[in-house]
Amino acid sequence: MCYDDNGAWCIRAIYQSTDNIIRILCKDGEKASYPGATFPSGFLDTSIACSYVAGGTYKRFVYYQKPDTTFVEYVSPNFRDRSVGK
């Protein structure tokens, strides 16, 4: 996912690590990349979908399958302050 934040391009790579935790790797403009938020464990080799919507209260959406095989949606204005969607 990428978006413009006051003139700096921000990139968020969302992936499942070998411990099944969903993680975000961040890169903002010319700065070095850094680890971002983590999400609860996903189903082994889950697919991950994400979306960024400009404006509004919730701008970032992440979807994946949990270990119990149900699907989860996380909504967030900034990835740090997130909640389970509907």
**The predicted structure's pLDDT at residue 86:** 64
Proportion of the chain above pLDDT 90, given as a percent: 59
- Mean pLDDT (whole number) for 38-62: 88
Q: State how far the Cα of 14 lies from the Cα of 17, in Å rounded to an integer.
A: 10
Question: For the ranges 6-10, 39-43, 54-58, which has the lowest average pLDDT?
Answer: 54-58
Please give the tally of structural domains in the chain: 1
pLDDT tops 70 at residue 79: no
Range of the domain at 65: 2-84
Read off the pTM: 0.84
